[in-house]
Amino acid sequence: MRLLSAVIGMVVLAWGWGMWANGAGGGSTPWVIYEQALLLSGLLSIALMSVAMVLATRPVLLERPLGGMDRIYRVHKWSGMLAVGFAALHWLIEMSDDLVKSLAGRAGRLHEIEFSGLIENLRDAGEEVGEFAIYLVLAMLVLSLWRRFPYRWWRPLHKAMPALYLLLAFHAAVLAPLGYWRQPVGWVLALLLASGTTAAFLSLAGRIGRDNRAGGVVESISTPAPDVTEVVCRLEHGWPGHRAGQFAFVSFDRFEGAHPFTIASADHGDRRLSFLIKGLGDYTRGLSRRISKGQAVTVEGPYGCFDLDRGDGNARQIWIAGGIGVTPFMAWLDRLRSDPVRAPAARLHYCTRNAAADPLIERLASMCVDLPSISLQVHDASQGEYLSAEQIISADEGNDRAEIWFCGPRGLGESLRSRLGALLGSRLRFHQEAFELR
């Protein structure tokens, strides 16, 4: 969230500079406060919306600084939500002019520049489209927060956001005070509007991720457990290869679109990727019946920074997998098996609902046989074995630094992170792969 704080800080500074340079403009204090609050809320809203638009283009270059594409999506989400919050505030302030009038009277109102002709028409249009777009983005925020609203309906609606952004960008560009364009606040606004508008057009043209896509075929399909489908795909030459732990957007069906799945195998240079897909929703449930051997598949990626090479070689390695969150660790083990001397000393905690019915345990155990420095510890919820921060620490005694790699349910990850943080303080480094992008 440092990026969002930096953007907010930059906008506030630029706005403050503009206010100081322009003076009060001859108005009384309530009207100056009204005007400046209206400008600041509008600036913050369009700035954060522009950031959300840029992040939606899946910018690979920002993966490293922001910690991976799953993180980029989280920042995108928070940026969008804050932007809509500021837009709502902007609208409320705009609606409160009657209240200011009744409190301070009309006399102290700031002198408005009179426009005519095309500029006047553009400003009128800007006001109208802005109001219309604000109602729609507010509705979108409600649907995003309403977790029970099905993802498959939310997604096409969300695709309308670039069009709404363009309306709001137009509103901001034509209604920003003319003096702004000669000051830092205008330059910041211009930069944000130019980046956001470019991103919106790329999105509307279907260009997002297009250069990172490779076609291929489904080579095999199996169901290691009733609710898990394993799919092996063989890609064409355009695939650049991947690092163990990365994910890709996989599309088996053009109408369904792409879903993110971790690549559960290492890169063996044969452009073969395996995915372990759990039936967690409408599409993935019963996936094995929807797809067939030999059919076409499109894979976009690879994305993500859940990469062991980014780890701290001197810290204790503790890997925690919850359910299907074991997939990146399977890719790591697969990679380390071909180079066991590079395997760090690590403990892999695997949390499962029912060990007796879980075929992945046997697979993990057999992978670990070749890797003596890695010890597997299974936590079987059906036997009341729930993993706690205290267990993690007592399993690996020592006062040195601990590096945790977590992939699994968000609630488990957050509770472990906060408890371990309290116990280990600055000696803890916690990496978490987000399995949810919405």
Ligand X SMILES: Cc1cc2nc3c(=O)[nH]c(=O)nc-3n(C[C@H](O)[C@H](O)[C@H](O)COP(=O)(O)OP(=O)(O)OC[C@H]3O[C@@H](n4cnc5c(N)ncnc54)[C@H](O)[C@@H]3O)c2cc1C
User: Can you give the binding site for ligand X, defined by CB under 6 A?
Assistant: 70, 151-152, 247, 257-262, 276-278, 280-284, 324, 327, 434-438
Contact 276, 230 (CB under 8 A): yes
CB of 226 to ligand X, least distance (A): 14
Burial environment of residue 420 by CB neighbours within 10 A (0 to 12, 13 to 18, 19 or more):
buried
Of 421, 429, 414, give the one whose Cα is nearest residue 74. 414
CB atoms within 10 A of CB 350: 25
| Count of alpha carbons within 13 angstroms of residue 305, beta-carbon side | 18
Least CB distance to ligand X at residue 297 (A): 15
Helix axes 97-104, 29-55, angle to 10 degrees: 160
Shortest distance in whole angstroms from residue 373 CB to ligand X = 25
Alpha helix positions (H), 205-313: 287-290
Residue found under tokens 């928070």: 78
- Least distance to ligand X from the beta carbon of 230, Å? 10
Nearest approach, Cβ of residue 1 and ligand X (Å):
19
For residue 246, the number of C-alpha atoms closer than 13 Å in the C-beta half-sphere is: 26
Q: End-to-end CA distance of the chain, in Å?
A: 16
Of 277 and 299, which CB lies nearer to ligand X in the complex structure? 277
Nearer to ligand X, 204 or 280 (CB): 280
* Nearer Cβ to ligand X (31/261): 261
> Nearer to ligand X by C-beta: 355 or 437?
437
Closest distance of CB 289 from ligand X, Å:
13
Q: How far is the CB of 63 from ligand X (least distance, A)?
A: 12
Nearer to ligand X, 183 or 284 (CB): 284
CB of 24 to ligand X, least distance (A): 48
And the tokens for 53?
């638009």
Nearer to ligand X, 184 or 257 (CB): 257
Alpha carbons 61 and 83: distance in angstroms, whole number: 23
Cβ nearer to ligand X, comparing 69 with 174: 69
For the CB of residue 322, give the shortest distance to ligand X in the complex, in Å: 12
What span, in angstroms and rounded, lies between the C-alpha atoms of 355 and 362?
Answer: 10
**What residues have CB less than 8 Å from 259, skipping those under 6 apart?**
249, 250, 251, 283, 284
Pick the closest to residue 25 from 13, 12, 38 (CA basis): 38
Q: Residue 17 or 151: which CB sits closer to ligand X? A: 151
Which of 148/237 has CB closer to ligand X? 148
Copy the structure tokens of residue 375. Answer: 């010890």
Which residues partner with 380 through β-bridges? 352
Strands 213-225 and 259-262 come out as unpaired
When the beta carbons of 45 and 274 are compared against ligand X, the nearer one is 274
Which residue lies nearer to ligand X by CB, 41 or 265?
Answer: 265
Nearest to 351 by CA among 394, 402, 305, 406: 406
Residue 334 · residue 245 · CB < 8 Å = no
Whether 405 contacts 320, CB under 8 Å: yes
Question: CA 433, CA 438: separation in Å to the nearest integer?
Answer: 14
Q: Which residue is nearest to ligand X (CB)?
A: 281
Among 174, 146, 162, 233, smallest CA distance to 198 is for: 162
Rounded to the nearest whole angstrom, what is the least distance from the CB of residue 57 to ligand X in the complex? 15
Provide, rounded to whole angstroms, the least separation between the CB of residue 235 and ligand X: 17
Contact status, residue 164 vs residue 123, Cβ threshold 8 Å: no
